[in-house]
Chain A
């Protein structure tokens, strides 16, 4: 059985949703004067284990299933969902969603045919959900031992593994029928270190659309443990962060959250169609220094933010957002692409069947430059070197964004010196990238822990960055 056939078979065998039932439901959805309709079926299993006090005391398993029916008419969206996957519930949801369209007496018939899938980025012979529980428990216990062995100041270790297996099937009124099996795994470690001066936390983790073995290969899980412990221990010695405008050097990988907040959200099609993004009408204009080329790529094998098809059945793509400083593209779902007269880019995503899709990022990164990362730090007299972040947020309309460092150091006379306490950095999306003066050759993607929230919906994403130098970013410490 191929993985493509699997979801269709599941929904047909277990819930009686045949191709004929799909065609009927789409017909009901479009019974009024609608432009387009789609059905999104989902069956997701999530397993989570967590360790504290040195043992795995918490395990959980959750199963969710449901169907979301969407109808589009102009700029209007009708959406109905139910966690009852039956032909009757499907038909009722389809009629409810169709209410946004004007009444019509036409009969609509829809024929669906299984579509060819765009990519095969994460076909796993052993999906992580199938790995034995005892192996997952052993992994967490090994993480605990590794972190504690590193330093007696590591007082407690919290470690968790969450694995998910999602089966989706998408039928559209233009006849497409697509399905996908989406595995996902993530290991997260948090250490609390304590000395005479106080307590500090350090966190690290990783994952992706990988088999369980990914974490054991090369003792990746033990590296997570050491990194979490090291961050906590480093922060025990942290001094107060500076406050005010200064040069900031971002390390490679996860600090790419800068791109996600500063420009990524602002380039999502919905805000640009409505003209409410600080990037509205800037296509073709300079929004970054010519050292910057930024890509959103949903097609990187096994990455957390990758998808074979987006949640509207469109194959994902590699979309150039900024090319040598010039704004080239937006991230589009079907609705906004159509209304803006632009191509859909495979960025229509949703958290689950309980949500209508909207334009979202996949893996968003800056391509490598030519500078030696050491030279970038050496070029700064006084500034901040930030290597890890907790999270960020953006006001899309004003363009102001923040992201909060969890591990950062002062740069004094071209040298990385003392660690500083976590601080929030704030900037303005449309101009922050114009102040990037150096881009390193050390481009890296993050470890696979990112989750993006928008309008109440969370989806897994990735980011990536080489070492970069930004002048004049506001650092929100306490030392004025």
Chain B
């Protein structure tokens, strides 16, 4: 599955050609990004092969400027005869849009001058044979279903792999590229008791195959997570402390990310607008965005505008220290870009976190649960009930009820509600269990009080 150096060179020459066409058509500046990927996924259900998918994709995205006017276009047709027309049409598109004097490429002096090797590509793994991939999925599912007779059904297990090459070039002379690989193995068993079914899941994801959690261990954790949901019931409507497991605590950071990224700030759609320097969280809360973690899920040597990625402290001991900005939003806010420009091949750059995490605290998850006289441990959240403008928060939840420091029974069909600003300020304990299973990560978190709606 390796993309040879020759392939990468070919991709870079396509980028240069596209920029030349854009300039010839009248663009005063332009940048172009291309991504080429190979992917394999293999799934089994109840031990039998369910689906094998093989994918090859290659896309190119172009942004052109005509003075302060700009347009974006994307295509998967990289043939020479098509690229010229594609570039000409994109420049024509820019000419009909309104000008914005802040539009443009970054300052030349801010561009990355080196691309550190962040070990994002697993050169050892190359392509996994379908039978090998299916075997991992089978092992994970079997380990889950063997764990208990109540685990009597399954939505299956899947192994997937992706290898991609990303290249970026601009008329400022920037020309860079890097490769990434990723491996994923997940299983979703179903358990039945007293006529009611529950499902849950566990998964691992890594840039290097050898970093993946063992297939049997994934299956066993999926089994335990599913079994603990059996017998779930509603609890009474009340106010109580709420503990978020790492998987769901990370979603709170996702909402924070939405509120500190440039476009939500200059558009006035962030509940953290105008709060730079203020206390927005409890004193133990430090949130970091680091684009250069070795083997990180959100790592990249330079951002989508060619700026070096870096470590930004977003929240330091409860104080909001930094927004995450691309070039345009930084100019709008009269701040400096932070190396957080990201773009889908088909879209323009916008600000986005890289590896965003809440720094680990002192407490073990058991200590946190033990500190609660009566409250909720949330293990899953569903729905979209978060208002980024006001911070108002209301989501469907499932989890475990805690009485006198001990888990007593599973809970479902309830909601938890509050306001994100109040919730961050009311973080009472932070776990010591931070692990990176995605680009946004958090340890266990305890919030002092939220409204639980149930019976």
Q: Does B147 contact A (CB under 8 A)?
A: no
Residues of B within 8 Å of A394, CB to CB, are: 382
Q: Does A475 contact B (CB under 8 A)?
A: yes
Q: Most chain-B Cβ atoms within 10 A of its Cβ — which of A76, A158, A356?
A: A76
Which B residue's beta carbon lies closest to that of A76?
B49
Q: Among the listed stretches B72-80, B113-121, B288-296, B362-370, which one makes contact with chain A, having 4 or more residues with CB under 8 Å of it?
A: B72-80
Q: Does A415 contact B (CB under 8 A)?
A: no
Chain A, 378-409, CB within 8 A of any chain B CB: 390-395, 397-398, 400-404
* Structural contact, B155 and A393, CB atoms closer than 8 A: no
Chain B, 380-406, CB within 8 A of any chain A CB: 380, 382-385, 387, 389-390, 392, 394-396, 398
* Structural contact, B413 and A79, CB atoms closer than 8 A: no
**Per-residue contact bits, chain A 186-201, to B (CB 8 Å; 1 contact, 0 not):** 0000001010001111
**Per-residue contact bits, chain B 77-97, to A (CB 8 Å; 1 contact, 0 not):** 100000000000110011011
Q: Does B237 contact A (CB under 8 A)?
A: yes
**Per-residue contact bits, chain B 320-345, to A (CB 8 Å; 1 contact, 0 not):** 00000000000000000000000000
Residues of A within 8 Å of B51, CB to CB, are: 76-79, 100, 356
Supposing A57-B70, A397-B199, A422-B387 touch, asked if A80 and B76 sit within 8 A by C-beta, the answer is no
Q: Among the listed stretches A1-9, A58-66, A307-315, which one makes contact with chain B, having 4 or more residues with CB under 8 Å of it?
A: A58-66
State the CA gap A263–B238 with chains docked (Å): 29
Chain B, 5-55, CB within 8 A of any chain A CB: 45, 48-55
State the CA gap A66–B58 with chains docked (Å): 11
Q: Does A99 contact B (CB under 8 A)?
A: yes
Q: Among the listed stretches B206-214, B415-423, B426-434, B438-446, which one makes contact with chain A, having 4 or more residues with CB under 8 Å of it?
A: B415-423
State the CA gap A402–B45 with chains docked (Å): 28
The distance from the CB of B49 to the nearest CB of chain A, in whole angstroms, is 5
* Structural contact, B385 and A390, CB atoms closer than 8 A: yes
Which residue of B73, B103, B412 contacts A57 across the interface (Cβ within 8 Å)? Answer: B103
The distance from the CB of B68 to the nearest CB of chain A, in whole angstroms, is 9
Which residue of A137, A156, A476 contacts B395 across the interface (Cβ within 8 Å)? Answer: A476
Q: Does B153 contact A (CB under 8 A)?
A: yes
State the CA gap A57–B94 with chains docked (Å): 9
The distance from the CB of B452 to the nearest CB of chain A, in whole angstroms, is 8
State the CA gap A200–B391 with chains docked (Å): 10
State the CA gap A401–B385 with chains docked (Å): 13
**Per-residue contact bits, chain A 65-76, to B (CB 8 Å; 1 contact, 0 not):** 110000000011
The distance from the CB of A334 to the nearest CB of chain B, in whole angstroms, is 15
Q: Does A209 contact B (CB under 8 A)?
A: no
Q: Give the bracket for the number of chain A residues in contact with chain B.
A: 35 or more
The distance from the CB of B333 to the nearest CB of chain A, in whole angstroms, is 14
**Per-residue contact bits, chain A 111-144, to B (CB 8 Å; 1 contact, 0 not):** 0000000000000000000000110010000000
The distance from the CB of B305 to the nearest CB of chain A, in whole angstroms, is 16
* Structural contact, A133 and B96, CB atoms closer than 8 A: yes
Q: Does A29 contact B (CB under 8 A)?
A: no
* Structural contact, A397 and B190, CB atoms closer than 8 A: yes
Residues of A within 8 Å of B196, CB to CB, are: 398
Q: Does A428 contact B (CB under 8 A)?
A: yes
Which B residue's beta carbon lies closest to that of A62?
B74
State the CA gap A244–B417 with chains docked (Å): 11
Which A residue's beta carbon lies closest to that of B43?
A77
Q: Does B254 contact A (CB under 8 A)?
A: no
State the CA gap A134–B95 with chains docked (Å): 11
* Structural contact, A476 and B417, CB atoms closer than 8 A: yes
Q: Does B455 contact A (CB under 8 A)?
A: yes
Residues of B within 8 Å of A100, CB to CB, are: 49, 51-52
The distance from the CB of B406 to the nearest CB of chain A, in whole angstroms, is 24
Residues of B within 8 Å of A171, CB to CB, are: none
Which A residue's beta carbon lies closest to that of B415?
A476
Q: Does B222 contact A (CB under 8 A)?
A: no
Q: Does B359 contact A (CB under 8 A)?
A: no
Q: Does B130 contact A (CB under 8 A)?
A: yes
State the CA gap A391–B396 with chains docked (Å): 12
* Structural contact, A243 and B130, CB atoms closer than 8 A: no
The distance from the CB of B270 to the nearest CB of chain A, in whole angstroms, is 9
The distance from the CB of A452 to the nearest CB of chain B, in whole angstroms, is 13
The distance from the CB of A251 to the nearest CB of chain B, in whole angstroms, is 18
Q: Does B194 contact A (CB under 8 A)?
A: no
Q: Does B232 contact A (CB under 8 A)?
A: yes
* Structural contact, B451 and A480, CB atoms closer than 8 A: yes
Residues of B within 8 Å of A192, CB to CB, are: 267-269, 389
* Structural contact, B199 and A402, CB atoms closer than 8 A: no
* Structural contact, A390 and B384, CB atoms closer than 8 A: yes
Residues of A within 8 Å of B237, CB to CB, are: 243-245, 480
Q: Does B348 contact A (CB under 8 A)?
A: yes
Chain B, 87-133, CB within 8 A of any chain A CB: 89-90, 93-94, 96-100, 103, 130
Residues of B within 8 Å of A397, CB to CB, are: 155, 190, 197-199
The distance from the CB of A19 to the nearest CB of chain B, in whole angstroms, is 23
The distance from the CB of A13 to the nearest CB of chain B, in whole angstroms, is 14
Supposing A79-B54, A134-B96, A276-B153 touch, asked if A474 and B454 sit within 8 A by C-beta, the answer is yes
Q: Does B59 contact A (CB under 8 A)?
A: yes
**Per-residue contact bits, chain A 412-454, to B (CB 8 Å; 1 contact, 0 not):** 0000000001111011100000000000000000000000000
Residues of A within 8 Å of B385, CB to CB, are: 390, 402, 404, 422-424, 476
Supposing A393-B384, A476-B394 touch, asked if A75 and B453 sit within 8 A by C-beta, the answer is no
State the CA gap A479–B229 with chains docked (Å): 27
* Structural contact, B382 and A393, CB atoms closer than 8 A: yes
The A-B contact count (CB < 8 A) is 259
The distance from the CB of B3 to the nearest CB of chain A, in whole angstroms, is 15
Which A residue's beta carbon lies closest to that of B53?
A79
Residues of B within 8 Å of A470, CB to CB, are: none
Q: Does A477 contact B (CB under 8 A)?
A: yes
* Structural contact, A63 and B48, CB atoms closer than 8 A: no
Residues of B within 8 Å of A398, CB to CB, are: 196-199, 229, 232, 398, 412
State the CA gap A404–B404 with chains docked (Å): 33
Which residue of B48, B90, B155 contacts A76 across the interface (Cβ within 8 Å)? Answer: B48
Residues of B within 8 Å of A158, CB to CB, are: 267
State the CA gap A55–B100 with chains docked (Å): 9
Residues of A within 8 Å of B451, CB to CB, are: 243, 476-480
State the CA gap A53–B419 with chains docked (Å): 28
Which B residue's beta carbon lies closest to that of A472?
B455
Which B residue's beta carbon lies closest to that of A396?
B199
Q: Most chain-B Cβ atoms within 10 A of its Cβ — which of A155, A278, A393?
A: A393
Q: Does A146 contact B (CB under 8 A)?
A: no
State the CA gap A137–B153 with chains docked (Å): 53
State the CA gap A81–B58 with chains docked (Å): 12
State the CA gap A137–B99 with chains docked (Å): 13
Q: Does A82 contact B (CB under 8 A)?
A: yes
Q: Does A87 contact B (CB under 8 A)?
A: no
* Structural contact, B198 and A200, CB atoms closer than 8 A: no
Q: Does A93 contact B (CB under 8 A)?
A: yes
* Structural contact, A474 and B77, CB atoms closer than 8 A: no
Residues of A within 8 Å of B234, CB to CB, are: 474
Supposing A64-B76, A474-B414 touch, asked if A400 and B71 sit within 8 A by C-beta, the answer is no
Kindly list the 3 A-B residue pairs having the minimum CB-CB distance in the complex, ordered from nearest.
Answer: A476-B415, A402-B396, A402-B383
- List 17 A–B pairs whose Cβ atoms lie within 8 Å, in order of A's numbering: A60-B93, A63-B77, A66-B57, A80-B53, A84-B56, A97-B54, A100-B51, A155-B268, A245-B237, A391-B383, A393-B396, A394-B382, A400-B396, A402-B383, A402-B395, A477-B417, A478-B394
If A156-B267, A200-B389 are given as contacts, then 17 extra A-B residue pairs at C-beta distance below 8 Å, sorted by A number, are: A60-B347, A60-B348, A61-B90, A62-B75, A62-B346, A64-B59, A76-B51, A77-B51, A80-B55, A133-B96, A201-B387, A241-B417, A276-B154, A356-B51, A395-B380, A426-B414, A474-B234
- Listed in ascending order, the chain A residues whose CB lies under 8 Å from chain B are 52-53, 55-66, 75-84, 89, 93, 96-97, 99-100, 133-134, 137, 155-156, 158, 192, 194, 198-201, 241, 243-245, 274-276, 278, 354, 356, 390-395, 397-398, 400-404, 421-424, 426-428, 474-480
